[in-house]
């Protein structure tokens, strides 16, 4: 059972911000939102995670709505190397597994 809904694909322009949406309307109070990405022929790569507050690191920012039913991953200045499948994952803190959906295929165009 998918806990998240993401668009199948999206394009963005190189140098511009990429905003990747994710819906998780059934998220529980203690579940985290994780983002991973998978560049072609590589394994998934951790990007960022959050519970309630917005988070930022050197790769991206994560904005979680107040009701926690949706979130947005922001890549501030997309480059061609950011072309990948991006996975939004809702994760119980007691669950060691990662449950991937189909993700969003993001294509950054020059």
Partner 1 sequence: GAGVSQSPRYKVAKRGQDVALRCDPISGHVSLFWYQQALGQGPEFLTYFQNEAQLDKSGLPSDRFFAERPEGSVSTLKIQRTQQEDSAVYLCASSLGPTSGQETQYFGPGTRLLVL
Task: Enumerate binding residues for partner 1 (CB under 8 A).
Answer: 32, 41-46, 49, 85, 87, 91-103
**C-alpha distances in Å from residue 91, one per residue of 36, 53, 97, 104, 107:** 12, 16, 8, 18, 26
Quick one: 2 or 13, whose CB is closer to partner 1?
2
| CB within 8 Å of 26: residues ≥ 6 apart | 3
Quick one: 72 or 105, whose CB is closer to partner 1?
105
Closest distance to partner 1 from the beta carbon of 11 (Å) = 19
Question: Which residue has tokens 């790769």?
Answer: 59
Quick one: 8 or 110, whose CB is closer to partner 1?
8
Closest distance to partner 1 from the beta carbon of 17 (Å) = 24
């Amino acid at each position: 059972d998918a806990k998240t809904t993401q668009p199948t694909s999206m394009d963005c322009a190189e140098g511009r911000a990429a905003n990747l949406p994710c819906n998780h309307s059934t998220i529980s109070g203690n579940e985290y939102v994780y983002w991973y990405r998978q560049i072609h022929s590589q394994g998934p790569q951790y990007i960022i995670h959050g519970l309630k507050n917005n988070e930022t690191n050197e790769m991206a920012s994560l904005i979680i709505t107040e009701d926690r039913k949706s979130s947005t991953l922001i890549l501030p200045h997309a480059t061609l190397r950011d072309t990948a499948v991006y996975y939004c994952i809702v994760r119980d803190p007691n669950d060691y597994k990662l449950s991937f959906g189909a993700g969003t295929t993001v294509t950054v165009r020059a």
